[in-house]
Chain A
Amino acid sequence: MDALLLQVLNGLDKGGAYALIALGLTLVFGTLGVVNFAHGALFMLGAFCAVTLEKILTISTKVKDESITFFDAYKEVPILEAKYPVVGGFIVDYSVPFSILVAIPVMLLIGLIMERGLIRHFYKRPHADQILVTFGLAIILQEIVKHYFGANPIPQSAPDIVSGSANIGAVFGLGDNLVYPWWRLIYLAFSLSIIGGVFAFLQFTTFGMVVRAGMQDREMVGLLGINIQRRFTIVFGLAAVVAGVAGVMYTPILPPDYHMGMDFLVLSFVVVVVGGMGSLGGAVLAGFLLGILQSFASMNEIKSVLPGIDQIIIYLVAVIVLLVRPRGLMGRKGIMED
């Protein structure tokens, strides 16, 4: 029972990342009709926003180490911390959450530039062309990041206060040996709130209503005198922001390196297809579902019966879903059925 709960939690936070990326992919696909292979790169760029901010905040100076009295010893201390011990230390400690504030405008800008500069020209081109050009863009983005940050993963730390583990066993009355990292719980809550936010935005605001109307019938909305194109561009920016903050928050769980985007992209695409192309709810559902399935498949009990199942479970599910329910779990009729 403990183990099962643990696996569900494990799956949920991984699923949260899949769901956030898949949500953005579906949003872009549903509005612009573009298959964006560079979406994983946006996730990676978000993660590197966190890395950059941490690098800037921890530009260090040499300070005399008071604890060593025999000789003059120096240690490296971030300037911020040396100048303002309390506030500076707090900011450095919380660099990952603070990165979200940086990542939102940066990712929005990147998203808008990408849409206006490149994606716009590919609305009418075949999906194969869209895949290829965004694939090329993803390669370029990740090579640039590799050039500046190197090829090795750069570990980021969560704030001290949540770097430990939560004793969730006590909460559920299951004994004391069931502990789970705080940050992963936070990630789960974070991803759920972002997903909720996006849905609320689309459901309850006028802007969201227009966007949904545009997804249904773009031409009609255009005929009503609404500049639907501009709104779709903003939606692309929004999707970039969602991917970016998902990347920021994921850094303490997985040290970011330049090809993390590609790894997540392939999985997220599978998630989108399983959920049903163009269905937002499907993308979220499939994200969490596949995350949980994957973490169950990596349990030792299951691996001893079916060796290697943890490596292929997601793809296997995708193949089965595509063959049994060609439109995915919640796909609608008439989308991408050429």
Chain B
Amino acid sequence: MNKMSAISDWILFFGFAIAVLTMPIWLAPFGANYPDLMQRFAIFGLFAIGFNILFGLTGYLSFGHAAFLGIGSYTAVWSFKLLTMNVLPAVMFSILMAGIFAFAIGFISLRRSGIYFSILTLAFAQMSYNLAYSVLTPITNGETGLQLTLADPRMIDAMAGIEATRTLPTTNLFGMKMSGMPGFYFCAAALIIGFFISIRIFRSPFGVMLRGIKSNQNRMAYTGLNTRPYLIWAFVISGMYAGAAGALMAVTDPLAGAERMQWTASGEVVLMTILGGAGTLVGPFLGASLIKYFENIFSAYNTTNLNQIFDFMPDSIQPYVVDIAGLFVGKGWHLTLGLLFMITVIFLPGGIMEGVRRIGLLFKRNKKNTVDAGGATPAANS
């Protein structure tokens, strides 16, 4: 049985890796195969996968994960400014820094559970956001956002003899420019590594411990186990994922602003995870991609498009339909998002993966009834 699940994990992993790397090809029919959007798929996918390690496994709902995203971005941009335009150190430093902050915040917040934990993380995130906007302006550059300038020292680059040019330098990986498609492949590689680690965590004794905490923390404590170190590690790991995602955002566009840390951004990652399916492996990535895809599609529509789409309708009702549809697209995209949020929570608390499983069960039952085949293996891994 163990061997079976190990094999199916590898299948899942390679399937995922291939699907991600071939995104430029199979996303073409959807009109979503341009680098900018695919980068966002990968970055927010990574963010949501990390969030899922905390929320999906332990059930602790953090409303402050965007803080780590912001910290990751700031660290990465500072690494570009002070050290080198190479992206690897930037990502490393970001993960490290986000991990340190996550440890500090988690150490305090995890003293409480349930809604108190949510409020505590929210409080910390709001504190970081407010500070980034006001007092920490020398570090964060306040409202303008932290940007690269020509006067940056870039010590390692200078030592390596890379001449300062008149234009702003671009991020690179040992000379390979990190914008456009190479940037996407870099993000995709990070996503795949993150996904692999997430599989390992899900299958490890550590992951089982976390699930035990979710189902009944008291009972875990009665067996003589101290659950706090496990929770703190889960929190730190998911914070590191968020830091990595923040760094990738800076890699694809070297600019960091405080609005990335706002609590609505934290709410967005919660939505991504829930929509895809909390506690599943691929769910969070699916949720993140879906939301970013729809954000992209829906925001692009305007009244002219809508008039074309609803052209087939009789003239008497067409304007009304266009009016109503216009509420949900363009600038009204957030309305669609809120609606999606509610519908998911009300009707499909398990998210997309739950829906897929239900449909799968439906088919399986039909098959059993007609053919009565006994050897159907349950595929409950993903």
Contact = CB atoms under 8 A, between A and B. Distances in A.
User: Is this pair of chains taken from one and the same complex?
Assistant: yes
Interface of A: 35, 118, 121, 125, 127-129, 131-133, 135-140, 143-144, 147, 262, 266, 269-270, 273, 277, 307-308, 311-312, 315-316, 318-319, 322-323, 326, 336-338
Contacts of A318: 119-120, 123
A312 B130 contact: yes
7 contacts: A133-B346, A147-B335, A262-B264, A307-B135, A315-B126, A323-B111, A326-B111
Contacts of B112: 322, 326
A336 B124 CA distance: 21
A-B complex: 3 closest residue pairs judged by Cβ atoms: A308-B135, A139-B338, A136-B341
A147 B120 contact: no
A36 to B, nearest CB: 12
B82 interface: no
B131 A136 contact: no
A266 B334 contact: no
Q: Select the residue from A307, A319, A326, A337 with max chain B CB neighbours within 10 A.
A: A319
B123 A315 contact: yes
Main secondary structure of the interface of B (DSSP, over half): helix
A266 B332 CA distance: 23
Interface of B: 59, 61, 108, 111-116, 118-120, 122-124, 126-127, 130-131, 133-136, 263-264, 267, 270-271, 274, 327, 332, 334-335, 337-342, 345-346, 349
Q: Considering residues B334, B338, B339, which has the most beta carbons from chain A within 10 angstroms of its beta carbon?
A: B338
Given A129-B349, A270-B119, A312-B130, A319 B124 contact: yes
A144 B336 CA distance: 11
Given A128-B59, A312-B127, A336-B115, A322 B120 contact: yes
B123 to A, nearest CB: 4
A302 B286 CA distance: 48
Contacts of B123: 270, 315, 318-319
Nearest to A303: B135
B341 A139 contact: yes
A326 to B, nearest CB: 6
Contacts of B274: 132
Contacts of B349: 125, 129
Contact of B341 (A35, A128, A135, A336): A135
A132 B341 contact: yes
A311 B130 contact: yes
A270 B270 CA distance: 20
B197 to A, nearest CB: 25
Nearest to B349: A129
B263 A266 contact: yes
A266 B126 contact: yes
B335 A144 contact: yes
